[in-house]
Amino acid sequence: MATGDRQLHMVTPTIQSMPISKITGYNVYLKLENLQIPGSFKIRGIGNLIKKASQHGCKKIVCASGGNAGLAAAYAAKTLGVPATIVLPQSTPGFVADKLRDEYGAEVKIHGKVWDESNKHATELAKDSDCLYVHPFDHPDIWEGHSTMIDEAAQQLPCKPDVVIVSVGGGGLLNGVLLGMQKVGWSDVPCVAMETVGADCLNASLQAGKLVTLPDITSVAKCLGALTPASKTLELTQLHEKFQSVLVEDKDAVSACLKFADDHRFLVEPACGASLAAVYGSVIKDLQSSGKLGTIKSALVIVCGGSSVTLKQLETWREMFKL
Ligand SMILES: Cc1ncc(COP(=O)(O)O)c(C=O)c1O
């Protein structure tokens, strides 16, 4: 197989969580995107974007992200044999820069105090015609790639779920999930989109009925920290018949990460904990009590994963939130 044809993402398992199903009283299924090699679902969409571009003659890629998008971009580029430059803000932990360089062979540039400054630099670096600028979430090829997780889940689940639960940052993952749900005939299945308070640009935009830019990100779920969602996200959420946007506190997202680590022996970021909090806590029950969700026999939770988490960090949060 030629390098450019290599499959970048794994087909991940969809498993029933026995401990969470026991808590909820219905079957909870987990799409384990944390098992992707770069640690999150991001490789599906970003891999698809980079693969298509490399098939069309792209000779290098540039991405501004100290998070899971940067890791996915660097991994995809390395696997396809395309040089990658990842631009990081000065605040990015040293271990991320080391990982990008040592494990993924990317050129790392530290530029700017915040992501916006790094991103501006990345777009300048990507001005050459044979260079691809990789946005972390806002591109149709990214949504197409993310949508494959729903194709897989539809094959893997014993029946159509009664609700799909997914985390939202800039909305790339949600776009992929909603497009995937259209594709497999799940347009009538309710979708619950989870954000944390302080990283809630979609919820704020839905309330305002237009795109809202948050002044700052105050949540510990930094990966959900887009200031403005993709405009396509607003469009798709308005099209999806049974769509709910829900916020949880950081404390609940972290608590869900801790319980998930004990129950399933996986470490995930609070970005993912936001979705798990919906089934570990009362989110789904509250939606049912207020008539926004009907009877649930099974739920599908997208376990989006995330690499920027350590046991030490989870312990620090456990103490900080007195969990
Ligand atoms: C682990 C994790 N979950 C969820 C998200 C949110 O994805 P999106 O920005 O596509 O909404 C991200 C984004 O970086 C992430 O890294």
Chain mean pLDDT for the chain: 95
Q: Mind listing the pLDDT tens digit for each residue in 198-230?
A: 999 999 999 999 999 999 989 999 889 899 999
Residue 300 has pLDDT above 70, yes or no: yes
DSSP string, 165-219: EEE-SSSHHHHHHHHHHHHTT-TTS-EEEEEETTS-HHHHHHHHTS----S---S
The answer as to CATH 3.55.50.30 being correct for domain 3-41+139-320 is: no
Q: Of 141, 157, 135, give the one whose Cα is nearest residue 302.
A: 157
pLDDT in tens, 262-284: 999 999 999 999 999 999 999 99
Q: Is 137 in the pocket of ligand 1 (CB under 6 A)?
A: yes
* Ligand 1 neighbourhood includes 267 CB (under 6 angstroms): no
Tokens 């972290």 belong to 254
- The Cα 172–Cα 48 span in angstroms is 13
CA distances from 249 to 131, 224, 244, 277, 302 (A): 40, 13, 17, 9, 19
Cα distance between residue 276 and residue 282, in whole Å: 11
The protein residue with its alpha carbon nearest to ligand 1, atom 1, reads 306
Placement of tokens 């609070």 in the chain: 270
Nearest to 277 by CA among 196, 215, 164, 213: 196
Contact 159, 298 (CB under 8 A): yes
Q: Which atom of ligand 1 is nearest to the CA of 272?
A: 3
Say how many Å lie between the CA of residue 224 and the centre of ligand 1. 6
Q: Where are the domains of the chain?
A: 3-41+139-320, 42-134
Please choose, from the candidates 116, 112, 50, the residue with its C-alpha nearest in 3D space to the C-alpha of residue 83.
50
Taking the CA of residue 226 as reference, the ligand 1 atom at the shortest distance is 9
Q: CB neighbours of 135 closer than 8 A, spacing ≥ 6?
A: 142
Name the residue of 12, 34, 63, 68 whose CB sits within 8 Å of the most ligand 1 atoms, as the mutation to test its pocket.
68
> 83-115 pLDDT, tens per residue?
999 999 888 888 889 999 999 999 999 998 888
| pLDDT class of 251 with cuts at 50, 70, 90 | very high
Q: Are strands 27-32 and 14-16 parallel, antiparallel or unpaired?
A: antiparallel
% of the chain residues with pLDDT over 90: 90
Matching fold, domains 3-41+139-320 and 42-134: yes
- Which ligand 1 atom lies nearest to the CA of residue 169? 11
The fold for domain 42-134 equals Rossmann fold (3.40.50)
